[in-house]
Structure formats: structure tokens, C-alpha cells
Chains A and B, each alone.
Chain A
Amino acid sequence: MATVAELIAMPHREVGFVLFIEGCPFAVTTHPDLAGSGASSWIGTGHGARRVLEGLSIGKGQTVTHSTSLESGMLENSDGTTFEVQDFDGELVEFMRDQTEAETLGELLLPTDDPAPATLLSSDGQTSINLWGRYINKEAIGPAGERNYYQVFPGDPMPGLSHAAYTGDLQSLAPSMVYDSPPFLQGRRVALWMIVKDIASTATGYQAWKTWSQVAAEQADTLVFIGTLNQPEAEGRTWKLPCDGMSSLLRKQLNANRPDQWQKVSATISLSDEPGAREDLMGLKFYYQEGGTGTLLLGAESLFDETLDVLPTTGTPFSYRAAISNRITTVSGTAGVDITYTAFYNATASISQGYCETSIDDAGWGAVWILILHEKTLRMLGYDPILQQAGAFESEYEITFLPSESLALLGIITPGPGYWGMKLSTAPLGAVDVVSALDQADNQGAPRYHRALTDEGVDLLYPGGDQELLVGLGPATPFIMGQTNRAPGEHIISNSGGEVDTQGYFAFRSSYLENVDAEVITMVQIAKCGWHNDDIFNGANFGENADGYRVLWVERWIDARWFGCDRKPLDQVWASLDLEYAPIAWIGYNLKFGDRADLVLLRTMLSTGTASWSGYDGQNPVRTFGVNAHPNATYTEGDDVEDADLGLAIPASLIDYKSFTKTASLLPDGGADSPLNRVKFGFLGSFDSQELIARILAPRGWGMGWVRGKLRLFSLAQPLSQGDVEVSIDPDDFVSDEPMYIEQVDYAALTAKDKFKITAGGALIEEAAPDKDLIYEVRANDPGARARQSNAELDIDGAGLIRTDLWEKNGPQSWGPAWSKLWSTTMSEWYGAPAVRVQVTLHYSKARLLGPGSIVRFSSYFAPGRDGVYGLNLKLGRVTSIERDLFTGTAVVAILLQPGTATFPRRFAPIAFVLDDVADVEERHDATARTFYCYENYFGHEGDQHDVTAFAEPDWLGVGGDATVHGWQWNGREWAHTMSFEVESISTAGNLIVYKPGSMTGTFHESQYCCLVMAPYDTQAADSWPRALFSVHTRANFTFGTGPTKGFKLT
């Protein structure tokens, strides 16, 4: 029985098409054998209760075009098609019915809720809505709660979708509806599968056809179209279903569920009582000082006594003032070394809401007291030790603040960092201190006030993070979901708020004064935060503490400059009266570095919201990848790791993983680690994934391709070599009804550019945007640049690239040099190269192997090239577009041919060295198994190709025949040709070559070194692939050794 692959490779195929619609139990087909339902039908019962209906028409001229833009590198949106369906069974008209009876969900259903619960509450919380066997938005729920039933791939490989539910007043989210039958919804995925009939089968009806699972195993050939459903048209029972193509899977509004509004936040004070880092202690020192002489009379002092000078770790401004006042009263009334502060000249000291008051008798002596508090406490009471630092003492707002170092000079050692001494005295306005005030040191007996800069109770954010914030009360919070790009930090929310189990990223902003002379700016900072998730009802919220407050925990601050904000990290307490916060989406993973662009691209495409963590950030947490994890993934951060709202959920089987990382490795200045490959993408509110992808592709000269059912990444300007070739095209592959067929050639496929400009702008938070964009410009340095008289300029959107100019020192490495190198040489040469684009119609046998991005070797008889002759010979090129005719299987293919001759570049000839340091001779050469064992890469050539690979015919060549190999061995004096054989197979896994039975001639000397090379041209069989593939080299007499065949003069 022929396999699907064998049937597809035959020159005649019997096919039928089946169009599946995501979340729908019905599919439509072109072939009556494939129609039906139940056990005795092609679809059978292994894919749920599906039914396949007749009525799909795939007629002449129905095409699908895939192409890659040579300017932006994006897959172009012109890849849609319209399917015509006869609604014989009335399914489509039912599909289009407006189901006004649908119910609105009030509870969240996540992809990880698998199976789905039998019921969820309605939006008013009053009704249980049955889910099993019904349809939530565009997702079908199976009869036992199976998620994402009726997918467009057999086996329903993808997880369920995320269905947000929120009915609060703080934001508006689209409702999640539950239907009895699948409703028409624009955006449902559709897939057209080509089912093949086993033409050798003697079975009849559906039994002669390969099953869906069998054809899906050859997805590259049988998944003919995948896309999304658009608004249909109908004429009677004839329906037209327009569908967008593969590119539509890359197009989605991400981060649609998080609010984009700024909300008020309240930062409660929290003082550390941890030994060695205490913030909850205070100090007082009282004395008199005589004006003019400076003579001291010392009163009492009390400094950081862990019993007496303790402040509450949290509380209201009033409670702090009360505690401080108590200590002022006690200590100032206590006898000191020389005096009792409040008795000798009847001095007073007090702290009230908004000011401190000091007075003394009118006796020529000044009263002085130093109140030492932690900066957090000071700022909460409205004092700012930086902005209020005294200058000329012209206002009551100017105060002498003594930092810890200055206090140390006075013999006062603070119990931790961040303490300030507020020196308060009766020195009148205009006097620096009581000494210089002379006889006015007593302020003539009047009270002297020192006032706070702001009201009490300002919100304080601490530079060290680890701080709880109150973000709402009761249900008054927006819908908020976390990200899974990193594990949450370890923290228990105080006051019975629960353990932090969810993490996300938030921007904070408020009015801010850098110094007294500066203008008010908007301070912006970015933080990684955690919270205890509460999704009991009405969506997802921050968890509540025992008092009903919803609490957000600032785990740590992230340098906002990574996100393009011109704000340095906090180095002091940030006090604010108008503090607001907003959740942001961060498409990345590195807290202290940029993120790799290729991995950001991969995670965005793959993520489904099913990844999770156990453990805590910073403590070696363990990640569980999502259901859509890519089997070929080599980087954990480029996989199914993110929330569903931030991922496109493109099935892993549709992504050529290796092409992404390989393409990144081609970047200048470090490959994948090049500064040009570093990005930081953050978004406030929803964003267009297509725009994100475009911003990743454009600055790096990357292109997105679609080859054999897989998305691939490639470098537009990558020089192609023979080893890259995937498919070989020659005139026998052309299709035409005209016996005299001439290929079309376009000489203007690329437009030379004279200048390239990239602009990296767009701060995450607009108010913190730098004054100017980061711009680099380079002139084209291609050979034609000097001659051109043009002004073609290519502007590139560099948003997402790191704003390295925001760091004064110790910042990330600039990507400017790498970008300049790439665009001034490689890209400008590509745009200016004498390339031609040839367009031909190809047989299905070749067309099926191709897509935009494919690398081909092309020959034709008549097309003019850039070599000065007609006819293209063995040119390398990349497919830029393909228009597939679904009815005939043929395709019109446009290929951008690389200038020059592909055989000119130097490369390694086939050569392999047989292992020599082995224990047993069979480990070098096993005569029984006809096998030579070789080194993987004996001569250290570049690339990851194994030496033995070159002894096998490349897949794309398709010539056949056997390669003849010569073995040369070192006999102690010289290398001698000792044996020959024909290759049967090779294995890169074992680095071995197996020769054909009976083909070995000569002798292999077990004790001699052995080098394997291809036999000369004349020795190879006339119709063998080595003759078709390798360049012809002659001896100095221009002949091939002793044979009569003449070669060509070497140039």
C-alpha cells in the first residue's frame, strides 16, 4: 500500500479537498467519497462527532498567492482566497444565524482549565451556564469538557483559548458568550487539506482514501491553505467564504485584556525592623548654643534606643507624629550634660502637621535640636531632605538636613542607611545658624518654624522595591492577568493577603521635582510586581487583604531606560501626591539586558497561555513549557512561555524553528548576540502583533517566508551558496500549453538605495520620552553608488531597539555600528545588485516544494540574465512569491536570482578522514557492515555540516546515481590511492559512510591513515549526481587525467 508521500510524488494524483473551520463540527469537501459522518465515513469517529458535507468547489483559476515583501520582509497580506460552498444541507445558513439567546459568561476560562468545568457563572453571578458540548466564543467545548474541540488539525493539538470575563466599571472588555451551536465569527481559523486517494487500492468509496491523520503526517504537502474566516457573501444556497491566508495568523491585537488606563495607587509606609537594616528607629539631640561665641550647653539626647526610640513599622502620619512627639517631650525634658533643654532657658521643640516649632527665651542663646529619622518617615511627613536642603535660609522651607556621614562627624552613628538628621533651631530667617545669628540667635523669643514641603501622607516608592501598594478596595479594580515570562518573586502579602502567585509589569508615574530650581516633570518608573491572584468571580483581580484592600507588591524596579524612557533608576525615595500606575505588557525575559529579537519573535508566535512556573524568581524556579512547545526549540525563551493574551498560538508544526536562530546568527558583530539582535518591547494597552513583527524584521534585513507549511525567517541579503539549495529547477519543470515557452524576466525587481536611516523612538510611556529620537544614517556603499544620481532613501522604524543613548556610562553596547555595517554594505549591495527576477510556471512536483523564502538553483534556455548571454545556467536564487493553482496543482513562481556564478565561491570539496585513534579496527572500517567511520569535521570548516554529508546527493538535486569515492592512505612515504567504492548511504549521526555491496575495489590498509575523496569526473558514472553537482576541474594540460575528455581552461 502506497504511503501518502509516495502518492503525492506520483505523476498522477487523485485528490479531494476538505475545508475545516475551527470550532465547527462540520467541514465541506469537493469529493463525494469524503462526505459523510459516523463510523462508516471518511472522517469516522476519531475526530469527534464531525460531519463532512459535500458542496465545496475548487475550480479552475482558484489560486493562493504567498509572497514576501522585498522592502519590509513581511509576508504580504495578499495570501487569501475565496471558497465557494453549496449549502446543500443548510449548515451554513444555520452557521450564520444570530444567536440572540447566547449567554454571557461572568467567570474567566483560561487555556489551563482543561477540561473545562461543567458550568461557570453568568455575568450577573445568578445562573450556572452549562459549557460541555457548547461553544464559547469561537471555541467548541467537547462533550466531556475537552478544550478547543474541532480544530483544523487532526488530534486537536492546540490548547483551549483564553476567555476573559469582566463586568466591572473600570474598563470595558468584550463579553465572552456561550452558544448552543457554532456561530459565525470572523477570525475563525480555517484549513484546506488535500486528501489523497490510494489509486492502487481496490477498496471503494471512502476506504480508498488516506485518512486525515495520515495526510496530516505529510502536512508540508497536504495542508494546502490555512488562514482565517472573513465575512461571507451568499446568493441563494451558494456561499462565498472569503478567507485571509497564513499572514492573518500573524495579525492580532495582543494585550487586549489588560487595561490601558492609569489608576490611582496608594503606597503605605513600611519600615524595616530587620537588625542591621533598621528603619524604624529615631534619634533626638537637644542643646543650646550662644550666638556669636558658639558656646554649647548640652541637653539630653536619645539615639536609636531599641526600646525607647522605636517607631511603628507602618501606620498613618498622625501615629508617627504622635510617637515622635512623645519622645520629644520626654527627651527634651530630661536633664542633659549641662542643662535640661526645656528648663534652663525654657526652650521648646515640637512637631505638628506640616511644621516643626522651636523657641527659647530672649537671652541671646539659640535652641537647637536634631531630629533623626529614616528618609521614608521624613518624606511621609512631607519633608524632602534633597529639595529642602538649606541654602540661604530665606524661607521656612529651607532646613539643614544632615546625611549619615555628617551625623557621624557629630558622633551619631545611624542604625542603617537612609537616615537623615533634621537640624532645627531658633536661628532666624536669613541666618545660617545660631552662631552667625549673633544676638538674634534666640529669634527674639519668637517661635521659629520649619515647614514641610508637601502635605503629609504622600505616597512613597522605595528604590529597593519590595513594597506593598494598595490598588483598590473590594471589586473596584480592573481586570488584570499576569505574565508567565518570569516566575513570581517570593512574598506573602501582609494582613492575610495571601502568597504572591502571579507576576506582571507596571508603570508608575507622578509629578516630580528633580530639584528646587527644576521644572516639574513626570517621573516614570517600571517595576516587576507580584500579587495573589483572585479569579473567584468577575475575571482576574489583585487579591484582597483582611481589610478588603487589593494589594500589589513591587518586587523590584526595572531600569525604565530599557523601554525608551528617559528616566534613571530610583536612587532615593520617590514621594508623590499624584501617583498612578498602569499595567504594561513586556514581550521579553531579561531584567537587566536586552532580549534577543529572534526569541521574542518565536515566543510571540508560539505562546498559548499554558506555560507555568514552580518556585520563585531568583531561586532557580522550574518552568513548564506550554502545550505548543516547539519540538525543535533550542532556547527556552523562544518557546511557548507567555500568557495567551500575548501570544499568537501558531501551531509549532507551522514554524521552522531553526531558521529563526540560524538567521539571527548571521547578524554582524556577534551574530545572535549582536547588539543589533537586542530589543526591549513593552506596551501600554493593546498592540498589533504584525507591527511588532515588522519592527523586528525591518532593522535586521530579515524576511518572513512560508515554505512547505512552515513559517521561516531568512536574511534578505544572505549570499546563497550551493549548499543552501533546497530545490533544483530546470526547463523540464516548466509548464506551458505553448511548445515554445519563454520565461519572463524582470530587471527592476529591486530598487537601489542611496541612503538608509533608522529611527529608534517611541518610549513606552510618552511623558518620559527622550527629547529626541535616536537616529542612525548610512550611505549606500555598493559598487553602483558612486555612479547613481538618485535620492532613494529607506526609512526604517527602529522602535524596540535599545535606546543606548540614555545611559551616560555603563550602558548596553550600541547597536549602531552593527546596523551601519549591515546596511551600508550587505543590504545596500543587495538592493543595488544586478539581480533579475524570473517568473515561470512549474509542475506540482516542484511547486509543492517551494514557497517564498525557498532557495533554488535555476536553469532555463531562453531567459536573459546578467552574464551577457541568453539562457540562465545554474543560477542560485530565492523564491519571492508563488501563486498556487489549487485546481491544477501548478504554480507561478517568481525567483530573485543572485548575480554571479554559484560555482565560483570557494567551498570545501567532499573530503572525510577515517577515524584513526580507535581500540578495534572495526571502529574504523567494518567490512561486514561495509562501513567507514569518519571524523565529524576533520578540517575545521565553517558551518555545521558534517564531512560525510557531502558524499550523499542533496535532496534538492534529484539526479540519482551513485557517487564513486576514492580512498587515499598514508604509507609512510606518500599518500597513495588504495581503494575505491560506491556510496550506498551516509549517516551524520554516526559520521559514517556505507558502501554498496560489491563496489569495494582495492585494499584498505587497517594501519594507515585514510582520507576519502570523490573520484575524478571521468571516473564517476555518466548519469550520476556528482557529475551534475560538482564543478569540473582539470589537470594542467586541461584534460581529466589520462582520459581523453577535455576540460575547460581554469580562470
Chain B
Amino acid sequence: MGTFKTAWLIGSYASLPAQAFVVNASPQGVAASSYYLYDAVDALSLLAQVKTALEAAGLTNVVATLCVDRKVRLASSDAFGLTWGAGGTLIRDLLGFSGLGLAVATSHVADAVSPLLWSPGRQESSMLSPLGTRGHIDYITQQSVSPYSGRTESIGHGAREYQRFWFPLVMTERVRTATDEGGTFAKWFETVAVRSARWKLIRNVYENPASSAAAYLGNGTLGPYIYSAGGKGVAWTFTRSKGFERSEEAVDIDIPCHVCPEFTS
């Protein structure tokens, strides 16, 4: 499969506890806070924090990035090993790594896709507003009307911004697998949506499963969103795509969501 354009849903982990790991025998870590896997604002980006930690360990030309194959890559001009330790297993899992640590090398690519990242393998369809816009605003305004004259007063309590992203014909392997590993919608939903964590949709990402080049994430970001609970609470339905009801080829994913305030950095 070659390069294709897709949307990426990048989730966050609220109130991440302080994480500790050792880089080339240098104890490092990430401060407790709330982070997206990636964000343009470094203070909100877990990858940016990891990069800072590696630099603090004396490494040069550090790279901590998402690759076009969806995986995290940590690299430096200097070879480095990394031990996660007991205080770093959570960040290990969030980045998609596994095991006790990383053997000494100049580049380390995660074993799996981060559970905070989901790529449907296609561009989004924003159902409540035109493409590229964040959502549709519902105003919370109450009117009171005089019965005889129709004189009207109103009081506004602000507004809520809603959106619904529809991804038809998503390859089933990106939705569910036997183990629901990172990269599946089921894993992302469990890690991000169920926890009502913030996430953002990054538009027009050029993805290539066969390449570990750094992904370009600057083609537009929408959000932050929170998955909106419905009648069954925070839930989703495995719905095979029309025309593929009797196959395992494709699934339609529907994501109702609403806009929320950004983390305070």
C-alpha cells in the first residue's frame, strides 16, 4: 500500500502521573500533567516532553515523532539505551513500546501504534459542519414570551459546539482485532473516549505503512473534542459497511463529539 491521505485522531491522557525512566544511565522523566500524544504546543505534547527528557540526558539531534506508519520513533545522533523501570511503564505503553527497555541504538521505533492514536485510513466526513470547521454551535438560550403581545425576553447561558465525524468503509483491522492492540478503534475508544479524554483530529496526514519517515501534522487540526455519550452512555457500535454486511472487509465508524476547553498548559 502506498501513501494515502487520512485523518488522525490523537488522544490525550488527563492527569498523567510523573513518569521516570533512565536514558544511558541518566535518570529522566516527564512531569505529571495532562498531555496529548502529540500537540503543536510542546507543554501539551507527550512527545515533546520525551524529547526534552532525552536532551536532558545529553543526547543531541533528538527526534521524538510520529511516523507516517503511525508509530512513535525516538532517535538521536547519539546511540542511547533506555530503561523504563517501574515508574515508566505507563508512558512506555502510551508511546507504543513494550518490554523492559530499549537496547542501545540511535533510533527506536515503537512496537505498536500508540493507544492514543487512531487512524481510520481515510479522511473525515464532518456531518454537522463543512469540512475543516470545528463543529456546529448550539446556543443555550431561553426565551420567555408574553401571551398576549408576543413581547420576548431571552437569557443566554453560552453555547455548546457539537460535531459528528463519520468514517465509512474503514478497514476492519483498524477497528477491531482479536487482541485490540494499539491502532484499532477499539483500543483508542477504550483509552480515550471511555475516559472522556480530550482528543484532536489532525487533517490530511500522509500515511504510509511501509515508511518510518516523520509524519507531517501541519495540515489542520480540529478540536479539542470529547466523545459525546449517547443513550447507552459512552458506547459505539460495530457496524459493517453497507454492501459488506457479510464480509469482514469494512466497518462504518460514527463519532459524535463536542468541543471542550483546552488544557491549561
Q: Is A890 an interface residue, CB under 8 A from the partner?
A: yes
Contact stretch, chosen from A13-21, A285-293, A781-789, A992-1000? A13-21
Q: Is A731 an interface residue, CB under 8 A from the partner?
A: yes
Report the minimum CB–CB distance from B1 to chain A (whole Å): 41
Report the minimum CB–CB distance from B228 to chain A (whole Å): 15
Q: Is B144 an interface residue, CB under 8 A from the partner?
A: yes
Q: How far is the CA of A35 from the CA of B260 in the complex (A)?
A: 12
Find the B residue at minimum CB distance from A741: B147
Q: Is the CB of A844 within 8 A of B158?
A: no
B interface footprint on A724-742 (CB within 8 Å = 1, 0 otherwise): 0000000111111111110
The secondary-structure label for the interface of chain B is strand
Complex A-B: 11 CB contacts under 8 Å:
A12-B141, A13-B155, A30-B157, A30-B158, A31-B157, A33-B158, A35-B261, A734-B147, A735-B146, A735-B147, A736-B146
Find the A residue at minimum CB distance from B259: A32
Q: Is the CB of B147 within 8 A of A889?
A: no
Q: Which of B152, B157, B158, B264 gathers most chain A CB within 10 Å?
A: B157
Known: A32-B261, A35-B261. A736 touches B157 (CB 8 A): no
Known: A735-B144, A736-B147, A843-B146. A31 touches B158 (CB 8 A): yes
Q: Is the CB of A733 within 8 A of B146?
A: yes
Q: Is the CB of B144 within 8 A of A887?
A: no
Residues of A within 8 A of B154 (CB): 11-13
Interface residues of B (CB under 8 A from A): 141-142, 144-149, 151-158, 261, 264
Q: Is the CB of B148 within 8 A of A741?
A: yes
Q: How far is the CA of A945 from the CA of B158 in the complex (A)?
A: 45
Q: Is the CB of A12 within 8 A of B153?
A: yes
Report the minimum CB–CB distance from B56 to chain A (whole Å): 27
Q: Is the CB of B148 within 8 A of A888?
A: no
Q: How far is the CA of A737 from the CA of B142 in the complex (A)?
A: 12
Q: Is A1007 an interface residue, CB under 8 A from the partner?
A: no
Known: A31-B157, A32-B158, A35-B261. A11 touches B145 (CB 8 A): no
Residues of B within 8 A of A11 (CB): 152-154
Closest 7 CB pairs of A and B: A741-B147, A736-B147, A888-B142, A735-B144, A14-B156, A889-B155, A12-B154
Q: Is the CB of B146 within 8 A of A15?
A: no
Q: Is the CB of B156 within 8 A of A15?
A: yes
Q: Is the CB of A737 within 8 A of B155?
A: no
Q: How far is the CA of A31 from the CA of B158 in the complex (A)?
A: 7
Find the B residue at minimum CB distance from A34: B158
Report the minimum CB–CB distance from A145 to chain B (whole Å): 30
Find the A residue at minimum CB distance from B144: A735
The answer, among A36, A736, A861, for a CB contact under 8 Å with B145, is: A736
Report the minimum CB–CB distance from A849 to chain B (whole Å): 13
Count A/B pairs, Cβ under 8 Å: 77
Find the B residue at minimum CB distance from A60: B142
The answer, among B141, B149, B158, B264, for a CB contact under 8 Å with A732, is: B149
Q: How far is the CA of A733 from the CA of B153 in the complex (A)?
A: 10
Q: Is the CB of B142 within 8 A of A738?
A: no
Q: How far is the CA of A45 from the CA of B98 in the complex (A)?
A: 46
Q: Is the CB of B151 within 8 A of A887?
A: no
Find the B residue at minimum CB distance from A12: B154
Number of A interface residues in the complex (CB < 8 A): 34
Find the A residue at minimum CB distance from B156: A14
Q: Is the CB of B156 within 8 A of A12?
A: yes
Q: How far is the CA of A31 from the CA of B141 in the complex (A)?
A: 13
Q: Is the CB of A861 within 8 A of B144?
A: no
Q: Is the CB of B151 within 8 A of A36?
A: no
Q: Is the CB of A737 within 8 A of B157?
A: no
Q: How far is the CA of A30 from the CA of B142 in the complex (A)?
A: 15
Q: Is the CB of B158 within 8 A of A13?
A: no
Q: Is the CB of A889 within 8 A of B144?
A: yes
Residues of A within 8 A of B157 (CB): 14-16, 30-31, 58, 887
Q: Is A845 an interface residue, CB under 8 A from the partner?
A: yes
Q: Is A198 an interface residue, CB under 8 A from the partner?
A: no
Residues of A within 8 A of B158 (CB): 14, 16, 30-33
B interface footprint on A886-923 (CB within 8 Å = 1, 0 otherwise): 01111000000000000000000000000000000000
Report the minimum CB–CB distance from A193 to chain B (whole Å): 14
Q: How far is the CA of A843 from the CA of B153 in the complex (A)?
A: 7
Find the A residue at minimum CB distance from B148: A731
Residues of A within 8 A of B148 (CB): 731-732, 734, 739, 741, 861
Residues of A within 8 A of B146 (CB): 731-736, 843
Task: List residues 740-786 of chain A with CB under 8 A from any CB of chain B.
Answer: 740-741
Residues of A within 8 A of B261 (CB): 32, 35, 54
Residues of A within 8 A of B141 (CB): 12
Residues of B within 8 A of A736 (CB): 145-147
Residues of B within 8 A of A741 (CB): 147-148
Q: How far is the CA of A843 from the CA of B148 in the complex (A)?
A: 13
Find the A residue at minimum CB distance from B261: A32
Q: How far is the CA of A58 from the CA of B157 in the complex (A)?
A: 9
Find the A residue at minimum CB distance from B264: A36
Find the A residue at minimum CB distance from B149: A732
The answer, among B147, B149, B151, for a CB contact under 8 Å with A738, is: B147
Residues of A within 8 A of B156 (CB): 12-15, 197
The answer, among B144, B147, B149, B151, for a CB contact under 8 Å with A890, is: B144
The answer, among B145, B147, B155, B264, for a CB contact under 8 Å with A844, is: B155
Report the minimum CB–CB distance from B236 to chain A (whole Å): 21
Find the A residue at minimum CB distance from B260: A32
Q: How far is the CA of A844 from the CA of B151 in the complex (A)?
A: 12
Q: Is the CB of B145 within 8 A of A735?
A: yes
Residues of B within 8 A of A888 (CB): 142, 144, 155
Residues of B within 8 A of A733 (CB): 146
Residues of B within 8 A of A197 (CB): 156
Q: How far is the CA of A888 from the CA of B145 in the complex (A)?
A: 11
Residues of B within 8 A of A54 (CB): 261
Q: Which of B148, B152, B155 gathers most chain A CB within 10 Å?
A: B155
Q: How far is the CA of A36 from the CA of B264 in the complex (A)?
A: 8
Q: How far is the CA of A734 from the CA of B149 in the complex (A)?
A: 10
- Given A733-B146, A887-B157, 17 extra CB contacts under 8 A: A12-B153, A12-B155, A14-B157, A30-B157, A32-B158, A35-B261, A58-B157, A731-B149, A732-B148, A735-B144, A736-B145, A738-B147, A739-B147, A739-B148, A741-B147, A887-B142, A889-B142
Q: Is the CB of B145 within 8 A of A737?
A: yes
Q: How far is the CA of A13 from the CA of B146 in the complex (A)?
A: 17
Report the minimum CB–CB distance from B146 to chain A (whole Å): 5
Q: Is the CB of A15 within 8 A of B155?
A: yes
Task: List residues 836-873 of chain A with CB under 8 A from any CB of chain B.
Answer: 843-845, 861
Report the minimum CB–CB distance from B149 to chain A (whole Å): 5
Q: How far is the CA of A741 from the CA of B146 in the complex (A)?
A: 9
Q: How far is the CA of A735 from the CA of B155 in the complex (A)?
A: 14
Report the minimum CB–CB distance from B224 to chain A (whole Å): 12
The answer, among A31, A35, A844, for a CB contact under 8 Å with B144, is: A844
Residues of B within 8 A of A58 (CB): 157
Report the minimum CB–CB distance from B219 to chain A (whole Å): 25
Q: How far is the CA of A612 from the CA of B261 in the complex (A)?
A: 51
Find the B residue at minimum CB distance from A35: B261
Q: How far is the CA of A738 from the CA of B148 in the complex (A)?
A: 9
Report the minimum CB–CB distance from B33 to chain A (whole Å): 13
Q: How far is the CA of A31 from the CA of B151 in the complex (A)?
A: 27
Q: How far is the CA of A625 from the CA of B215 in the complex (A)?
A: 72
Report the minimum CB–CB distance from B55 to chain A (whole Å): 29
Q: Which of A30, A35, A36, A843 gathers most chain B CB within 10 Å?
A: A843
Q: Is the CB of B153 within 8 A of A732?
A: no
Find the A residue at minimum CB distance from B154: A12
Report the minimum CB–CB distance from B162 to chain A (whole Å): 15
Find the B residue at minimum CB distance from A197: B156
Report the minimum CB–CB distance from A64 to chain B (whole Å): 15
Report the minimum CB–CB distance from B136 to chain A (whole Å): 17
B interface footprint on A803-830 (CB within 8 Å = 1, 0 otherwise): 0000000000000000000000000000
Q: How far is the CA of A15 from the CA of B157 in the complex (A)?
A: 5
Residues of B within 8 A of A735 (CB): 144-147
Report the minimum CB–CB distance from A140 to chain B (whole Å): 23
Report the minimum CB–CB distance from B99 to chain A (whole Å): 33
Residues of A within 8 A of B144 (CB): 735, 843-844, 888-890
